Structures are given as C-alpha cells and as structure tokens.
Structure 1
C-alpha cells in the first residue's frame, strides 16, 4: 500500500481550475519534488494534502484512509502530516523551545519534560542546541527556517510537506536549510517538496513531477526529467530556468 495516493484531484478558485485531475502516488521513504512555474499548482497541491484547501473533485488517501472524506477529522490528519511554508510562521512571542514543544504538548498530549527533551535532541541534531531559549527575531533567516522544520518534525509525522522553504532566504543561507532536508532524506523521511533549486531537486528526489497549468504533465526519475524530458513544455521550462541561472 502506498503511503499517499492522490486520485483525480481538482481544485477551482472562482471558476478557474488550479488543479486539473492530479494523480500521484508516494511510497514510504520516497522524496517527490514538484517543479513548475509560479501558478502551476504546486503549492495548492500541498495545501490540499494537508487539508488546508478542500478539493472539488477526486480523493486523497493517507495510509489507505481517505482523508478528503467529509467525515475525516482534519486535525487528526495534520497530526500525521508536517508542513513547512515559505515564511517561517514562528510565534514571535515564544522562545524556540516553546515554538517546537507547543504542538507535542497541546495536540499530542506529550508531557512538558518529554517534549522539551525531544526538542533539545532535535535542536542539537540540526546544529541549534544553543538557540533553545532564543526568540525568533534573534535568529537568522536560515536558523528560523531550520526551527520551522524542527517544529514540524517534533510531531513525528508520517509525511513532510515543504513548500519553497528556501525562497525567502538570502543565497548564503540556502545551503544550511538544504542540508537539513538532505539529512531527513538520509533518515528515511517521506517528503513532498516544491522547489526552484533544480540542482538540489536533481540530487535529492526519487521522483520529479513537472506541473503546468494545474496538470501533472510529466513525471520520472531526476535523470530522465533533467536529461531527457519527453514533453516540450518541460524542456522549455528547464531551458528557461537554466538560462535564468546563467544571467
């Protein structure tokens, strides 16, 4: 059984179809990268998986259970799905430690001592042990994004969704966040991520999916997508990205 199955998902906004019949399966421990131009539907697809958006047609199954069923408990689903956004969304009035332990304590009912122990272990793992008592405004952008990823990890999710997590960072800070994602892959975390970092996508992905106009136009291994894309639109997109990088 696949960990995640997306079947014929459509999403409309004001009569405009943002997702148009998306089909996708994600296996346990697989890393799927979604690429495509802005407005192609990548972020909307992640938001549908996390039930931040309601699908208009189709179904999404997590561990064999349909989570898009109207009877599904969205809060229960989100206990098993971690999501990290472009913006860090840390609570500015809370320390790093409190940001990380809030969901385990309030949602998962983990005792404070245990939650803090787990949080400190994660902070140490990702090079932030000395930032536990700091407030977000005392951290660099890269450090804040690492804390956001740790906060999602603290709930021990089955699936991680990462939406352009480096796009708000200065170039010199991108590498430290990508290093965290690389370590998550090595640890077997199942992930779906959207990214404009084509080199990183090629390195980390098991499967690359190209979205265009709300359609999953092409999918394949990184080797296939980046060296021999079958769709003219995929070739055009990659050519434009490569040319933009050279400018």
Structure 2
C-alpha cells in the first residue's frame, strides 16, 4: 500500500485553478521529485498534503487514512509529516536547540528533557551538534537549512516534504543540503521534494513528476522523464532550464 496516495485533487484560489485533478502515489521509502515551472502547483500540492491548504475536491490518504476528511485531527496528521520550506523560518531570538524543541514541547506535549535529547540527536544527525546553543544568525545559510531539516525530523515523521530547500542558498552551500537529503534517502525516509536541482533528481529520485498547469503531465523514473521525456511540454521545460 502506498504511504501517500493523492487522487484527483483540485485546488483553486478564486478563479485561479492551481491543481487540476492531480494524482500521485508515493511508496514507503520512495523519493519523488516534483519539477515544473513556477506556478505549476508544486508548492500548493505540498501545502495540501500538510493540511496548510484545504483541497476543493479529491482525496489525500496518508498511511491509509483519509487526511482530507474534515473531521481529521490536523495536529495529529502534521506530527507525522515533516515540512521544510525554502525560507528557513527559524526564530531568530531562540537558539538552534530551542528552535528544534519548540514544537515537540509546546504542541505535542513532550517532556523537556526528552525533547532536548531527541533534538540533540537530530542536530548531530545533520552535522550541527556543535551549533546547538548558537542563534540562527550565527549560522551559514546551509547550516540554517540543515537546522530546519533537523526541526522537521525531530518528531520521527513518516513523510518529509521539501519545497525548494536549496533555492535561497549560495551555490557553494547547495551541496551540503543535497548530501543530507541523499543520506536521508539512504536511511529509508519517504520524501516528496520540489526542486530545480536536476542532477540531484537524476541521482536520488525513484520517480520524477513533471507538473504542468496543475496536472501531473509525466511521471516516471528519472532516466525516462529527464533524459527521454515522452511529452513535448516536458522536453520544452527541460530545454529551457538547461540553457
């Protein structure tokens, strides 16, 4: 059974149809990369999966549970999903450790000592154990993004959603974040990732999904979608980003 099942999802903002009958299956341990032009619906899809947006139609199931059911406990669903945006969204007045422990303590009621132990484990996992007491502005952009990933990992999520997590980074810092995502993939983390890093998609993704006007125009293995796409629109998109 798929860990994440998205079926015929539609989402509009006013007259702007952003997701138009979108369907996708993500198996446990898979890394699925979403590509497409700005405005194609990638970020909105992630926000719908994390219940930051309400779908207009269709069903999203996480581990067999319909999370689009209006009776669902959204906090409980989100505790099983880690989401990381291109902006780090770290609280500047808190230490890195306090940023990572904030949600477990305040939202999920985890004891402070347990939350701190788990947070330090995650900071070590992302190579930031030595920066636990630092404030975010004392970190490089790559370190801040890794701290944001540690914050998303601290609740042991079933699924990680990552939205252009390298787009705000200087080119020399991109590699350290992509290396971390590669490690997470090796550990069996299920990930749904929006990115323009085609080399990363080619080497790490199990599936690539090309979105066009809110629809999954082409889904397949990276070698097929990125090197030998069937759809003219996919070929046009790839040609433009490689110029």
TM range (shorter): over 0.9
* C-alpha distance in structure 1 between counterparts of 2:69 and 2:121, whole Å: 36
In the alignment, which residue of structure 2 is the partner of 1:44? Answer: 44
What TM-score do the two structures reach when normalised by structure 1? Answer: 0.96
In the alignment, which residue of structure 1 is the partner of 2:137? Answer: 137
SS at match of 1:176: helix
* C-alpha distance in structure 1 between counterparts of 2:6 and 2:58, whole Å: 8
What TM-score do the two structures reach when normalised by structure 2? Answer: 0.98
Question: RMSD of aligned C-alpha atoms?
Answer: 0.8
Per-residue deviation, 1:72: 1.0
> 5 Å matches for 1:1-247?
1-243=1-243
* C-alpha distance in structure 1 between counterparts of 2:141 and 2:84, whole Å: 14
Cα distance per residue 1:25-48 (max 9 Å; x no partner): 111101000000111000000000
Gaps of 5+ in 1: none
Gaps of 5+ in 2: none
Cα distance per residue 1:94-141 (max 9 Å; x no partner): 100001111122223222112111211221222211100001111111
* C-alpha distance in structure 1 between counterparts of 2:136 and 2:76, whole Å: 28
Per-residue deviation, 1:55: 0.5
Equivalent pairs, count: 243
Cα distance per residue 1:27-76 (max 9 Å; x no partner): 11010000001110000000000011110111101111110111111111
Instruction: Write out the 4+ residue segments of structure 1 that deviate beyond 4 Å after TM superposition.
Output: none
* C-alpha distance in structure 2 between counterparts of 1:15 and 1:71, whole Å: 27
